[in-house]
Structure formats: structure tokens, C-alpha cells
Amino acid sequence: MILRIATIVFPIFAIVAVGYLYARRKKPEMAMLNQLNMDIFMPALIFFVLVRKEFESEEYLPLALAAILVVLGSGLLSYPIARRLGFDWRTFVPPMMFTNYGNLGLPLFVLAFGDTALSAAVVLFIAGNFLHFTLGRYFLDHTVRPLALLRTPILMASILGLLFNVLQWHLPKAIEFPIEMMGQVAIPLLLFSLGARLTKFDWHDWKIGLVGAIVCPVVGVFNRCDNGVSLTTTRPTNEATDTFRSAAARGTQFSVCRTIQSGTTQGCVYRDDRQSILRSSYPNNVGVSIKLRCDVWFPECFSAIP
């Protein structure tokens, strides 16, 4: 487990370290690169993911709604903490709500779960950024105009990509490929920029930073809506049973939803106990739909679906 975690996080720390060391030595001006990333490369990545044929927007709607609720819930929970500790809520609450789901969230998702998880990571990124560019800006400036925010490149790419997806429009390869290439620049540049910014780290307000580092994950976990990812497979019961028994034997955390359709009736059985799954013998009904609900902390669960 430790080796797996190290394998996941090492590339992130390596790129951040390169950015830090380079910035310490050369002191580059990162403002233009960051602007390019937010205006060109990140929108290209978002648009490319959304227009892919494999992306089904309906499947990710619950995930987007859950992300919005988590962001809003984090703000509601951290506001009284800020008042209690005497912090300016405009300084303390926004970082608790709008976390680093770009620089760290996107690469962590991909490194932990593979390229297939990029779509989910981008959905979370879009949901968080939508609130960041709307509600977050309103916190600091009540005169901000909502329509002006729609001209933000990331939001424009999100809206356009969703439109293409819903209408099932697809780009020709000659256009899709350069968009994909530009999108591939985004994540490494995010991490490099993060390392460069660390050279300007200021210890002046370390107390509020330390409190935030504790409060942020606590309120995020406390108000989470769901920590599972659903994957569904339809197999003859004997094959599906073997799949889940194999996963259970490896210690995978999941629950099983077994839906058996018979005429107009259907039943669903949830089992969370791995030992009960190992002992179970399901009837060999044809056309059984079994849902595997994976705990996101156990990526080996994803390999259980044939």
C-alpha cells in the first residue's frame, strides 16, 4: 500500500520540485504561462474530455451535484469556525470551499485510477470552478456581473463541450487531435507553476494557514455526500459471482446490487460484508445486472469489472 501511494504521488512531487528549483535559480515570470494555461490549455483539456464519444454526461450529473453540495457544505461548516476564531470569513472560508482540485486533483485522479478517471476529475474541476468563478468572486466583489463570468475561457469551454456532448456532435480527427495535444500541456504546467509559486511562500500568516489545513479536510469529509463510484456490468450470474468473489478475496471494499428482473418485478440486494459474498451462491438466473460500488480509496476495485 505504501509503495502504491508513493508511486501515485511521486510524479506530482517530482514536477513540483522541478518547478520550485527552476524558479529559485532563474526566477521566471510565470504570470504569462499561468494566463496561457487558464485561457488555452485548460479549456482545451476540458473541451476535449467533454466531446469524447466515451463521455456520457448523464452518468456524471450526480457526481457534479455532489461536488457542488460538498463545496457549499464546506463553506457553511467553516463559516462559524472563522467567526469563532476571529478570522475574516472572506479570507478563511473561500480556501475551505475552493480547494486545489486543479493543480493536485486532476493529476492525482489520473495517477491513481488511470486515464479512464480523467472524465470524473474534469467534472469535479468544472463544478468547483463554476462556483469559484461565480460565488467565489461574489464573496469578494458584490458588483460582479454574472454574464461577464460566462466569458471566462474555462466556463466557455465547459458550456461548449457539454453542448457538443448533448447534441452528439463530434469533431473530425484533424481538429480533435491538436485540441488533445494542447490539453496535455495543462496538467504538467499546473504542477510546474505550483512549484514556482512555492518560492514566494510567506510565513507571516502561518496560524490561519495551519488552522485551514486542519479544517479543510475535516469539513470536506464531514459533509461528503457519497464516497463511491458505481460501475455496472451485466453478466450471467455465475460469471458475475466469480467476479465479485475474486474482488472480495483481494480485500476490495464494495457493495453489490443484484437486480433480477422477472416479469414486471425486480429485486435488489446490497451486500457490504466481504465474507458473506465469499460464502454466497447466487441462483443462475439469466440476464442478472450486478452493480459494483467502488470505494474511491481502493482503486483495485475498478479492475473487478471484466
pLDDT in tens, 92-110: 999 999 988 777 888 888 8
Crossing angle, helix 153-167 and helix 57-85, to 10 degrees?
150
Which residues are within 8 A (CB) of 57 and not within 5 positions of it... i.e. 6 or more apart? 50, 162, 165, 166
- The domain limits of the chain are 2-222, 228-304
pLDDT at position 224: 55
Average pLDDT over residues 256-283: 40
Type of residue found at 144: V
The CATH label, of 1.20.140, 3.20.20, 3.30.70, 3.30.1490, for the domain at 228-304 is 3.30.1490
Is 0.85 topped by the overall pTM? Answer: no
Predicted local confidence at residue 39, as pLDDT: 95
Q: Which range, of 26-40, 59-73, 196-210, 265-279, averages the lowest pLDDT?
A: 265-279
The tens digit of pLDDT for each residue in 8-20 reads: 889 999 999 999 9
- Per-residue pLDDT tens for 29-44? 899 999 999 999 999 9
The pLDDT of residue 221 is 73
